[in-house]
């Protein structure tokens, strides 16, 4: 059996800032197309579409995040089905795709979908400092940075998707971070705790603090992704 890889796509407004109405409209179209893909394309091991409910920058252009798990995926071909050129032209969209491997720091207990305990997902891009090689960057993240925030309250899952091929966003990020929380209030409350403050303070020791973006999202799970199992912080 081939290795199951994860494809990530960032769907953005080509015209810049996107309001919630625009995000919701594009998300509905992408969600519907993803459901059609699930019915017609064999070999997909997981498919999740996320909608932005709270961007952390006023001018953020992100409309949707698409994640596909598959054996030896053709990232561009899959995304051309979900977000075809006609839709990109009509809605003035830009789409960047990357094939990733996944580092599990905390086991994903469930996704931010209706009826889940975990109602909110934090997602964001991450970029290494220029003086860090890729392997050193992810080793520091796994062995130093993540343990600093081990006791941040309310986190129900924590993964890092490391880019192997392609590009995440125009800024060519090295990874996407994802964390799951019970709700927005739990997330907000957690940020003022000592473990969270210590973790944020450590970011500049290995990663860029500018040129990255974060969002709070909800998820539509179209095909249940493979179970992550325990993460390094769970052991």
CATH number at residue 82: 3.30.70.100
Which of 122, 20, 152, 5 is closest to 70 using CA atoms? 5
Judge whether 235 lies within some domain: no
The pLDDT value recorded for residue 17 is 83
Question: Domain span at residue 121?
Answer: 4-223
In whole angstroms, what is the distance from residue 137 CA to residue 134 CA? 5
- Cβ-proximal residues to 104 (8 Å cutoff; 6+ apart), any chain: 158, 159, 228, 229, 230, 231, 232
The pLDDT value recorded for residue 23 is 87
The pLDDT value recorded for residue 2 is 62
In whole angstroms, what is the distance from residue 212 CA to residue 170 CA? 11
pLDDT tens, residue order, the chain (235 aa): 467 899 999 999 998 888 888 888 999 999 999 999 898 888 899 999 999 999 999 889 999 999 999 998 899 899 999 999 999 999 999 999 999 999 999 999 999 999 999 999 999 999 999 999 999 999 999 999 999 999 999 999 999 999 999 988 777 899 999 999 999 999 999 999 999 999 999 999 999 999 999 999 999 999 999 999 999 999 9
In whole angstroms, what is the distance from residue 121 CA to residue 215 CA? 8
Judge whether 228 lies within some domain: no
SS3 (DSSP) at 86 = helix
Judge whether 230 lies within some domain: no
In whole angstroms, what is the distance from residue 150 CA to residue 106 CA? 9
Which of 207, 154, 204, 162 is closest to 182 using CA atoms? 154
Judge whether 206 lies within some domain: yes
Tally of domains in the chain:
1
Q: What is each CA distance from 37 to 65, 77, 79, 81, 233, in whole angstroms?
A: 16, 11, 10, 7, 35
Judge whether 194 lies within some domain: yes
pTM over 0.85: yes
The pLDDT value recorded for residue 64 is 94
């Amino acid at each position: 059996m081939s290795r199951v890889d994860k494809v990530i796509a960032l769907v953005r407004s080509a015209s810049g800032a996107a309001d919630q109405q625009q995000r919701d409209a594009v998300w509905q179209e992408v969600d519907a197309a993803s459901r059609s893909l699930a019915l017609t394309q064999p070999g997909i091991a997981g498919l999740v579409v996320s909608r932005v409910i709270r961007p952390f920058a006023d001018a953020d252009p992100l409309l949707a995040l698409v994640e596909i798990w598959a054996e030896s995926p053709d990232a561009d071909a899959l995304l051309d089905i979900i977000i075809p050129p006609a839709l990109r032209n009509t809605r003035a969209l830009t789409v960047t795709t990357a094939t990733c491997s996944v580092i599990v720091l905390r086991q994903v207990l469930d996704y931010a979908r209706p009826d889940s305990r975990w109602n909110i997902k934090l997602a964001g891009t991450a970029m290494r400092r220029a003086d860090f090689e890729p392997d050193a960057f992810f080793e520091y993240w796994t062995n130093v940075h993540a343990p600093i925030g081990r006791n941040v309250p309310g986190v129900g899952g924590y993964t890092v998707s490391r880019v192997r091929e392609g590009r995440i966003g125009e800024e060519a990020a090295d990874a996407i971070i994802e964390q799951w929380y019970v709700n927005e209030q739990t997330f907000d409350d957690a940020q003022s705790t000592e473990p969270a403050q210590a973790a944020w303070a450590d970011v500049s020791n290995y990663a860029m603090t500018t040129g990255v973006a974060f969002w709070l999202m909800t998820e539509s799970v179209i095909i249940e992704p493979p179970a992550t199992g325990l993460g390094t912080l769970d052991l």
